[in-house]
Structure 1
Amino acid sequence: MGFWERKTVEIFLRKSLVISLLTSLAACQSRDQVSTIPYYNSPDFSPHFLDKTEAKGQIMHHIDHFYLKDQHGKTISHDNIKGKIHLAQFIFTRCGNICPEMISQMKTVAKKFSANPDVELLSYSVTPWIDDVPTLRKFAEEKQIDSPNWHLLTGSKSVIYNLARKSYFAEEELGYSKDSSEFLHTEHMILVDRDGRIRGVYNGTLPLEAEQCVKDMEKLLSEN
């Protein structure tokens, strides 16, 4: 092989090596952009680990619009949580089994994020015909719920139940096909990102789950 032929081969090999390195670097960068917090697109809660571009094209499920009242009589709607992350749970004031512990674990979250303007905490009443605004206000006082971004919500039963089952997948696949005639009761807390997409589901009665939720919320906030 002549001198110029050898030089041509060397240049080709160097270019191939550079291209290979650039390709590997791009792949690494792409992997770095994949969120460690999964996206959920269906009530079976199959996790999807995607970057933001992939998520935009593949995750079609979003929390639906709503208009409800909180414990202060203030209207809370989709507009109040738009552009923020929020954590949702479903409780009722006369619940004596899992709800007290769910409130306790939500307090763990509230303690961390009560002063954060990018976070909202929503406790939907599943007995809104009982839990009117005065009842929720009294409940909040008794339970010392005073975080400004923690809203206890009441309103239309059908709106709340449809949100729980169709938007938040609160009862997973078992509840997805149920309607508002069947009572709703779940220990789940559901984490939703700034774009209204589900990013986490946790057992709201367990301290370790609440701690993991806090960590995931911190990650979501840092991603934005």
Structure 2
Amino acid sequence: MGFWAPKTVGIFLRKSLVISFLATVMACQNGDQVSSIPYYNSPDFSPHFLDKIEAKGRIKHHIDHFYLKDQHGKIFSQDNVKGKIHLAQFIFTRCGNICPEMISQMKIVAKKFSTNPEVEMLSYSVTPWIDDVPTLKKFAEEKKIEAPNWHLLTGSKSVIYNLARKSYFAEEELGYTKDSTEFLHTEHMILVDRDGRIRGIYNGTLPLEAEQCVKDMEKLLTEN
């Protein structure tokens, strides 16, 4: 098996059906005050369907602060996503396995939101010691990544890996015990709301998952 063995389609479809069903039940019980988009507070990705007041008190996990550079050599930090929703994925430019699929699915999102100032799309490099700014810029040109709000990010390995594991829960089955020097691998795309809280996880290799992500992002944009 390669570094990144994708999860089965069935697992993600079953998870989506369960989340959709729970959201419907909770919304009916609470007069539509509960968000249909769950909150995630832990690496096991147990969904929490809450209204805004409940979420403020119960959801303590937020994406941590970071400072990196994008493919244009510009500093990109938590300040750039503050008050916006963003979608994150973890790739590397020399990946010949699932990364091309992940880029393709992110393009589905970019096609919908490339001109929306309230949305950012982030592709963190998990081999930042190879993927410097010029390499990311060349990669973006080759892959025709043209959306102004799609940022390919590089910088400190420790910063990226800590973000992936402790902020985005990108390898949820590994928890916090994974050796930080080991190669990070995940096919997940993680959706984050305006307040830095995780609201969705998707298989970044599946078009159906990308399409569901777009729908969830549209809903999040309507939340105040």
Give the TM-score, by structure 1 length: 0.86
Partner of 2:221: 221
Superposition map of 1:96-135 within 5 A: 96-135=96-135
Matching residue's letter, 2:186: T
- 2:74 and 2:136 map into 1 onto residues whose CA distance is 12
Partner of 2:138: 138
SS in 1 for 2:88: strand
Partner of 1:166: 166
Shift in CA distance, 30/132, structure 1 to aligned 2, threshold 3 Å = same
Partner of 1:38: 38
Does structure 1 residue 48 correspond to structure 2 residue 48?
A: yes
- 2:174 and 2:196 map into 1 onto residues whose CA distance is 22
- 2:76 and 2:194 map into 1 onto residues whose CA distance is 16
Equivalent residues of 1:66, 1:159 under 8 A apart: yes
Superposition map of 1:74-93 within 5 A: 74-93=74-93
Larger Rg: 1
Give the CA RMSD over aligned residues.
1.3
SS in 2 for 1:189: strand
Identity of aligned residues (%): 89
Q: CA deviation at 1:169?
A: 0.2
Equivalent residues of 1:67, 1:78 under 8 A apart: yes
Query: Deviating runs (4+, > 4 A) in structure 1?
Result: 27-30
- 2:55 and 2:44 map into 1 onto residues whose CA distance is 18
Shift in CA distance, 105/196, structure 1 to aligned 2, threshold 3 Å = same
- 1:168 and 1:135 map into 2 onto residues whose CA distance is 25
- Size of the alignment, in residue pairs? 198
Q: Deviations over 1:142-195 (max 9, x none)?
A: 000010000000000000000000000001131432142011010000000000
Shift in CA distance, 28/94, structure 1 to aligned 2, threshold 3 Å = closer
SS in 2 for 1:32: coil
Does structure 1 residue 63 correspond to structure 2 residue 63?
A: yes
SS in 2 for 1:36: coil
Q: CA deviation at 1:200?
A: 0.2
SS in 2 for 1:172: coil
Equivalent residues of 1:162, 1:179 under 8 A apart: no
Partner of 1:18: none
SS in 2 for 1:42: coil
Q: Deviations over 1:14-73 (max 9, x none)?
A: xxxxxxxxxxxxx97943110000000000000000000000000000000000000000
- 2:156 and 2:223 map into 1 onto residues whose CA distance is 35
Mark the runs of 5 or more structure 1 residues left unpaired by the alignment: 1-26
Mark the runs of 5 or more structure 2 residues left unpaired by the alignment: 1-26
Higher helix share: 1
- 1:31 and 1:182 map into 2 onto residues whose CA distance is 47
Give the TM-score, by structure 2 length: 0.86
